């Protein structure tokens, strides 16, 4: 939601202010902080990004933030890197950006992603370190109560024993009909599938899908043909041609699957695979990151780390030293086949764009740059799907792990 407390307050007094539009964002970092930012736009169109609140040391390793649009609660997955357990917290948001703790639970180690499902009644978390998926009931207060724990084992290490020593669930994703949770497991080369019981929110493990050995599936996103808005539940539930796009961290591939619905099962048929760098060779050491669908459902947006293909002007205009930058990619989706067309490789704004988010209009992108300890805001052209110029940036202490919009 856009709001302008300054303009509302000062406007009433007949004063002029330069803050025409403002929105808050929340940033997680391995420093232990959750930092609240405010992005404001002046009447002349220029943007400013500033820290407005810091929630310090709430937990050692915040790795992922999630907020349901229109609801004033932020969920934080804390990986608990230096301690035996992870934790899952919820916070109440406020217009000034301050977050107030509602609830916190100790849990299995290593939660790195969450998704709210079953019409907002429950949340599923993927635990990378603890080789698990947990589910939680969402209480009316925004607090959580534990629902289920699933832990997984490997009988032998995978193709890449360094990364595939154990199952490593990396993301929890709800399907467009709100009937299944899909968990890419980087360590086990699996898409784990669970069906949702709408009456209780409980998950039941369903048939999993094996990805190529050594691919290391990390993140994914669904797209349904004919839906011009990824939040239109009625359209999404139509089960018109449904595709699932997977970004695999170890193979650095992007794969499209056609999804078919069975009786409490999902089937995946591969329709397209490409390297995440599109028409460029995948650099040695690259580590594919994020996968998102644009709000208009037309584009897949991805990030990749540890290959600084760009060198960009310093954000400090008095500093002539250029900044090495990893990449974001844009792909247009052919909804009749599920195939992708590579549109663009763009500078991410620094090193290790582990996660990024797009505002609801699809016009601005916030990128969390883990090793640059920075958040950048860049423009995006919703009609051709391309990333544009950087419009604001701010330093954030520690390894930045995620950044979300308060909309
Ligand atoms: C736009 O306005 C902001 C704040 O009011 C100011 O700092 C900036 O210099 C202006 N930019 C231009 C290009 O006029
Ligand atoms: C802490 O983590 C261990 C190991 O993952 C797990 O067995 C234990 O149940 C966890 N404790 C809580 C309260 O989740
Ligand atoms: C999940 O595990 C935690 C400890 O790790 C425990 O407190 C909780 O009761 C477990 N939940 C279920 C449903 O087994
Ligand atoms: C779905 O499968 C369950 C058993 O897993 C069975 O009882 C039920 O009849 C099946 N439903 C349909 C529509 O095939
Ligand atoms: C990655 O994709 C390429 C095609 O771009 C394919 O040849 C290769 O087998 C894929 N690797 C894995 C592990 O899926
Ligand atoms: C980054 O890539 C280099 C090779 O260019 C590799 O040695 C290093 O392990 C990679 N780092 C990470 C964190 O993936
Ligand atoms: C200039 O930018 C480089 C790269 O970000 C940085 O390492 C250096 O400290 C900066 N120099 C000054 C004087 O701020
Ligand atoms: C790669 O694709 C981009 C985007 O379509 C295009 O601008 C660029 O010219 C292509 N480069 C090569 C070497 O084909």
pLDDT, one tens digit per residue, over 320-343 is 999 999 999 999 999 999 999 999
- Residue the block writes with tokens 């303009």: 7
Burial (0-12, 13-18, 19+ Cβ within 10 Å), 141: exposed
Query: pLDDT (tens digit, 9 = 90+) per residue, 11-51?
Result: 333 334 445 579 999 999 999 999 999 999 999 999 999 99
108 lines ligand 2 (CB under 6 A): yes
> Can you tell me which atom of ligand 7 is nearest the CA of 319?
1
How far apart are the C-alpha atoms of 132 and 361, rounded to whole Å? Answer: 34
Is the Cβ–Cβ distance between 123 and 117 less than 8 Å?
yes
Q: Which fold has domain 5-406?
A: Methylamine Dehydrogenase; Chain H (2.130.10)
pLDDT above 90 (res 312): yes
- Of 61, 19, 58, 62, the C-alpha closest to 42 is 19
Which ligand approaches the C-alpha of residue 16 most closely?
1
Question: How many angstroms does the Cα of residue 304 sit away from the middle of ligand 5?
Answer: 16
Ligand 6: residue whose CA is nearest its atom 9: 285
Determine which of 21-25, 85-89, 276-280 has the lowest per-residue pLDDT on average: 21-25
Q: What is the pLDDT of residue 2?
A: 35
How far apart are the C-alpha atoms of 213 and 227, rounded to whole Å? Answer: 33
Q: What is the pLDDT of residue 8?
A: 38
pTM as predicted: 0.94
Q: What is the pLDDT of residue 20?
A: 57
- Give the number of other Cβ atoms within 10 Å of residue 371's Cβ: 15
Is the Cβ–Cβ distance between 30 and 401 less than 8 Å?
yes
148 lines ligand 3 (CB under 6 A): yes
Q: What is the pLDDT of residue 239?
A: 77
Query: pLDDT (tens digit, 9 = 90+) per residue, 120-138?
Result: 999 999 999 999 999 999 9
Q: Probe ligand 3: pick from 146, 147, 150, 204, max atoms within 8 Å of CB?
A: 146
Q: What is the pLDDT of residue 240?
A: 87
Which ligand approaches the C-alpha of residue 263 most closely?
4
Question: How many angstroms does the Cα of residue 287 sit away from the middle of ligand 5?
Answer: 14
Question: How many angstroms does the Cα of residue 342 sit away from the middle of ligand 3?
Answer: 44
- More confident call, 237 vs 310: 310
18 lines ligand 7 (CB under 6 A): no
Distance of CA 280 to the CA centre of its chain: 25
**What are the distances in angstroms from CA 34 to CA 55, 60, 150?**
5, 11, 28
Helical segments of 345-401, H only? none
Q: Probe ligand 2: pick from 79, 106, 108, max atoms within 8 Å of CB?
A: 108
pLDDT band at 3 (very low <50, low <70, confident <90, very high): very low
145 lines ligand 7 (CB under 6 A): no
Handedness of CA 247, 356, 403, 160 (dihedral sign): positive
pLDDT above 50 (res 152): yes
Question: How many angstroms does the Cα of residue 195 sit away from the middle of ligand 4?
Answer: 13
Ligand 2: residue whose CA is nearest its atom 4: 108
- pLDDT above 90 covers a percentage of the chain that reads 89
């Amino acid at each position: 939601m856009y709001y302008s407390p300054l303009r509302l307050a000062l406007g009433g007094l007949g004063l002029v202010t330069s803050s025409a539009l403002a929105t808050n964002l929340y940033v997680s970092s391995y420093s232990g902080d959750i930092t609240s930012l405010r992005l404001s736009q002046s009447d002349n169109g220029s943007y400013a990004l500033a820290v407005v609140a810091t929630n310090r040391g709430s937990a050692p390793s915040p790795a992922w933030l999630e907020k349901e649009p229109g609801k004033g609660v932020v969920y934080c997955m804390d990986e608990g890197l230096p301690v035996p357990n992870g934790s899952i917290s919820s916070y109440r948001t406020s217009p000034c950006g301050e977050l107030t703790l509602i609830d916190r639970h100790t849990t299995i180690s290593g939660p790195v992603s969450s998704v709210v499902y079953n019409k907002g009644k429950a949340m599923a978390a993927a635990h990378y370190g603890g080789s698990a998926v947990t589910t939680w009931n969402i209480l009316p207060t925004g607090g959580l109560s534990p629902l289920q724990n699933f832990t997984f084992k490997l009988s032998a290490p995978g193709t890449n024993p360094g990364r595939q020593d154990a199952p490593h669930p990396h993301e929890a994703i709800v399907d467009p009909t709100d009937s299944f949770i899909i968990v890419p497991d980087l360590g086990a080369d699996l898409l784990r599938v669970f069906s949702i019981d709408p009456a209780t929110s409980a998950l039941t493990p369903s048939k999993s899908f094996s990805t190529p050995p050594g691919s290391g599936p990390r993140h994914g996103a669904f797209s349904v043909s004919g839906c011009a808005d990824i939040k239109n539940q009625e359209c999404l539930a139509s089960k018109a041609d449904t595709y699932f796009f997977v970004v695999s961290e170890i193979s650095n591939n992007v794969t499209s699957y056609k999804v078919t619905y069975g009786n409490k099962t999902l089937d995946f048929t591969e329709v397209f695979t490409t390297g995440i760098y599109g028409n460029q060779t995948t650099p040695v050491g690259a580590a594919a990151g994020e996968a998102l669908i644009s709000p208009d459902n037309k584009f897949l947006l991805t990030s990749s780390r540890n290959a600084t293909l760009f060198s960009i002007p310093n954000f400090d205009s008095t500093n002539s030293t250029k900044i090495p930058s990893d990449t974001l990619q844009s792909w247009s989706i052919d909804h009749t086949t599920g195939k992708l067309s590579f549109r663009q490789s763009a500078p991410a704004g620094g090193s290790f764009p582990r996660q990024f988010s797009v505002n609801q209009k699809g016009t601005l992108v916030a990128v969390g740059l883990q090793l640059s300890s920075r958040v950048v805001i860049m423009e995006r052209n919703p009609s051709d799907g391309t990333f544009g110029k950087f419009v604001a940036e701010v330093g954030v202490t520690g390894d930045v792990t995620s950044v979300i919009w308060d909309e």
